[in-house]
Structure 1
Amino acid sequence: MRKMLAAAVSRVLSSVSQKPARRVLVASCNFSNDAKFEIKKCDLHRLEKGPPGTAVLTREDGLKYYRMMQVIRRMELKADQLYKQKFIRGFCHLCDGQEACCVGLEAGINPTDHVITSYRAHGFCYTRGISVRGILAELTGRRGGCAKGKGGSMHMYTKNFYGGNGIVGSQGPLGTAYNMAALWKLPCVFVCENNFYGMGTSVERAAATPEYYKRGNFIPGLRVDGMDVLCVREATKFAADFCRSGKGPILMELQTYRYHGHSMSDPGVSYRTREEIQNVRNKSDPIMILKNRMVSNNLASIEELKEIDFDVRKEVDDAAQFAITDPEPHLDELGHHIYSSNPPFEVRGTNQWIKFKSLS
């Protein structure tokens, strides 16, 4: 142990004597293993009790959640940059600001559970196991993308994840419609990510009742602080247990906020002020909330979190470089993967003389 420490000190001294180091060696500390936090209680609909008002966060989980949210934040900012550089074409809906929703939801379910989303799904793609490289390469339409470059921002898939459906509300009936889920008491959690704006219209101007967690009517509902990863995690655990126990479906409304506009063509400031966005960043940012909790309760140090930030930035930059240099899919693959399992067959192209072969 002494030799290891001596070697570490020697490396630090040598780096200082030569030139300023870009990264700082963090001395080991006696961190707490876990801490208990009070979290905002959920509003309930057709439920006698809801998720707990406290949550335990372990150091291991805290570091994992922090890194995941930072990856999603950096990845979305990089996607914004690639779109403006015209490497990404078509539609692109970013979810920066909403990181606690996808990270908290994944923390509350099992990897074997199925997730079906609408668009603005890059964060869910990552939490479901797709790499940053696979996501960004899909956005740029390259072979290394998670859907081999043929899906783009709205159509990303991996095991137990069916994501980015482009038609508004289409993910609902793909999973199961409200009525059928209630009739058959199906184990389905319906999730509404309420970021307070439908394209460019605020919920106050668009909805006679903005209490979306009650919209299931005959389906029980929860209204959750979607900017707090612990609130989302505990609510998701509660909802999943509710469904697994045979009580039927449940609806969760996650109150969150997007920093970007609705899509890349929307600057996001024509229907809301820059001050409003900055106020959310200053008071309710999901990464900031988790960071403050961890540092103030000795679950991590500022230096340690900065080291994670550095690694995340490098991972995203490397993935972006791959996403703009990886080859595009060959035209012959245009008809592939129409069916998951089927004998090869011919697919007509743009006219009757152009034929493609479909392979599963």
Structure 2
Amino acid sequence: MAATRKRKKPNASKDELLRFYRDMLLIRRFEEKAGQLYGMGAIGGFCHLYIGQEAVVVGIEACAKDGDQRVTTYRDHGHMLACGMDPKGVMAELTGREDGYSRGKGGSMHMFSIEKEFYGGHGIVGANVPIGAGLAFANWYRENDNVSFTYFGDGAANQGQVYETFNMASLWKLPAIFVIENNQYAMGTSLKRASSTPSLHTRGEAFGIPGEAVDGMDVLAVKAATETAVAHCRAGEGPYILEMNTYRYRGHSMSDPAKYRTRDEVQKMRDERDPIDHVRDLLLMGDSASEDELKAVDKEIKSIVNQAAKFAQDSPEPDEKELWTDVYA
């Protein structure tokens, strides 16, 4: 168990904490299983795991409502699960099967769900950011109070199209929340070696976009900051930047040995800052749950993930005719 942390009393109910614990644990166990399947050759292509960053998307989704949209990068499985996509359909897509969300043609980095307002999964660094502004523009044009959540990493924060997007989003006061998931390493390059401005939440100052740095390993801190950002956008005040300072435990992708950092660094984060252990500690210290109750949750989640893996492996591969569906030209 992680080292005991000195934290303030959580501003969350027992049910909310249990939901956060369950949702983050589902992402963790799902990603662990995806890593296993990749090692067995059941998942092809690239595979980027979200292990360690679970508090970011779970805390943000706690503030979303029906109609809000989300678009993200290739490290996207956690975002799919957090917005309510079925683990079976996600795993089937990872393994390239007919019952996957994109009928086996999108794989790990390119799946969508119109029903859940999930618009990818994008493999090109920074390319999803203008799409997020486009979703926000649609909300502005329709005069609803929906917002778009656009996730990108610390590496993408240096891309030119990000600043073109910031300019337009600010100019038109678009209801866009830009979430920079700063996991400290852009592929293998640390932030301090790649960025002249380490405080990424200040990148919107030139465009008049407010920003905030957030402890992305604390789901309650994420939720509190997101509530501020959402209220700002829904009130018609324009875009908002949230820099989530988080950490990924695995390499950039499954093919990355991550030799650019020490094992001690990763282990220290696991021991002292793990987002799931944080909520677990809050539940136990507040007598909101017992060890046995949390073990039962873990058992339930493992069963859901194992069922998803079996469903995916039992699902047929796409028919050859699928090559000619969803083709525009």
2:57 and 2:324 mapped to 1: Cα distance? 32
1:152 and 1:189 mapped to 2: Cα distance? 26
Aligned to 1:136: 91
From 159, 163, 176, the equivalent of 1:188 is: 176
1:335 and 1:116 mapped to 2: Cα distance? 26
AA in 2 matched with 1:260: R
From 205, 225, 234, the equivalent of 2:193 is: 205
1:243 and 1:314 mapped to 2: Cα distance? 39
Gap regions ≥5 residues in structure 1:
1-36, 39-53, 340-346, 348-360
Percent identical: 49
1:110 aligns with 2:65: yes
1:163 aligns with 2:133: no
Higher strand share: 1
From 227, 236, 261, the equivalent of 1:237 is: 227
Aligned to 1:87: 42
AA in 1 matched with 2:193: R
Gap regions ≥5 residues in structure 2:
1-6, 134-164
AA in 2 matched with 1:171: N
Normalised by the length of structure 1, the TM-score is 0.78
From 243, 246, 251, the equivalent of 2:241 is: 251
1:43-87: CA deviation from partner (whole Å, max 9, x where unpaired) = xxxxxxxxxxx8521111111111111110011011111011000
Alpha carbons 1:55, 1:234 under 8 Å: kept: no
Normalised by the length of structure 2, the TM-score is 0.85
Alpha carbons 2:10, 2:282 under 8 Å: kept: no
DSSP-derived class of the 1:57 partner: coil
2:83 and 2:111 mapped to 1: Cα distance? 11
1:124-168: CA deviation from partner (whole Å, max 9, x where unpaired) = 000111111111111000011111111101112112111211100
1:259-287: CA deviation from partner (whole Å, max 9, x where unpaired) = 1100111022x100011000000000000
Alpha carbons 2:71, 2:118 under 8 Å: kept: yes
Compute the RMSD of aligned alpha carbons: 1.2
Q: How many residues align?
A: 288
From 169, 173, 183, the equivalent of 2:130 is: 173
2:168 and 2:327 mapped to 1: Cα distance? 28
From 299, 304, 317, the equivalent of 1:310 is: 299
DSSP-derived class of the 2:265 partner: helix
From 287, 290, 299, the equivalent of 1:298 is: 287
From 218, 221, 235, the equivalent of 2:211 is: 221
1:224 and 1:204 mapped to 2: Cα distance? 18
2:268 and 2:54 mapped to 1: Cα distance? 17
From 86, 97, 100, the equivalent of 2:55 is: 100
DSSP-derived class of the 1:246 partner: coil
1:283 aligns with 2:272: yes
Aligned to 2:152: none
Structure exhibiting the larger radius of gyration computed from Cα positions: 1
1:337 aligns with 2:326: yes
